[in-house]
Amino acid sequence: MDVRAEFMGRFGVPPTILARAPGRVNLLGEHVDYNDGPVLPVAIDRAVYLAARPRDDDLVVLAAHDLGEQIEFRVADLEEKKDIHGNPLPKWALYPAGVAWACSQHGYNVHGMMVLYSSDIPIGAGLSSSAAVEVAFAVAWQALGGWQVERMTLARLCQRAENDFVGLNCGLMDQFASIHGVAGHVLYFDTRSLEWEALPMPVNTVLVVADSGVRRSLASSAYNERRAACERAVEILRGYLPHLRSLRDISTVEFAAFSEALPLEVRKRAEHVVKEIHRVFAAVTALRQGDARSFGAYMYAGHASLRDLYEVSCQELDILVEIARGLPGCYGARLTGAGFGGCTINLVQETHAEEFAQGLLKGYLQQTGRQANVYLCRASEGAKVEKI
């Protein structure tokens, strides 16, 4: 969609900036970012597109094209989370409003503006549509305000918006990937040190995202319960390993030695995290060696752990993974995102991509009676702003 033309049609004046922020898929390292673990996300070629023009006051006129909704709020009144008429901000508006709030809290000048945005990232599918919205607005306000800030700092401001304004305890991975994406590369991101590195995708492979069509609300799901279980595990294990700051700090051998001290459910959650972190380190070696087959094996193992230990999969996601396993050209498959529905990510030989996509669609329909949406994706560059 041409957001520039839509902006002109709605507001009667041209925008002065255009912004784009991609969604992401996570290839490995699920539910470890809030445990200080390393992750392997990829920014994808589906994104939020935004057109904006500054105002002379602090009024934000916000148009969500895909929802057919428009709302107005003042930056100075954001603590109340209400629009100019005193009504509570709808959930979709909390993400951009939260970014304005977080940036203002850190002393950055946040302009009033007229803004229209649209997205081709499926909402609620685990492809970080909300983080892409946050990042698109963050780079837009940065461009309009003329302030200089490191991209990692911008990612952390977006994370704070989601944690403290929207009310979801997400890690930093989604915002990081949307801002730092590198075309053709997987991003190795250490969520503790914030060090990162771009690693080439295995040659002659593509990413196939399969949307199960099953939706779960992240905020009302068991996401926060899983996070609390991990924190409880650290609290108990610190009695045996005083140096423990997070599950990142425990080796698989140490976990085997002391995990019996944990309640069963807490133990299962922690076991997934500890072993998933070690899978990421092994998968990095596979990427450096261009070994798609080994990398795919870690993806399959990761899905089994998310299904059996972290218990965030569902029947439809499990079916998609099993169908993928039996199709030619598939190296690996797993759920991506928080789970409870959403998408699987598949690493597939490029020459088999179309055949694979059709096989996945057909098999899923036969087994579930549901129609999946399947997207061929490539690793894309991160967020950018164009001044007109």
Active site residues: 174
CA-closest candidate to residue 176, choices 148, 142, 151, 149: 151
CA dihedral 278, 284, 290, 295 (to 10 degrees): 40
Residue 236: strand pairing partners: none
Distance, CA of 262 to CA of 30 (rounded, Å): 21
> How does DSSP classify residue 88?
B
Going by C-beta distance under 8 Å and a sequence separation of 6 or more, which residues neighbour residue 101? 75, 78, 79, 161, 165
Structure tokens at 35: 């445990």
Tokens found for residue 148? 């200089």
Task: Please give the Cα distance from 379 to 198 (Å, whole number).
Answer: 11
Q: Which of 327, 331, 361, 335 is nearest to 27 (CA)?
A: 335
- Distance CA(234)–CA(85), nearest Å, equals 46
196-200 sheet: strands from edge to edge: 38-39, 185-190, 196-200
Lookup result for tokens 């599918």: 125
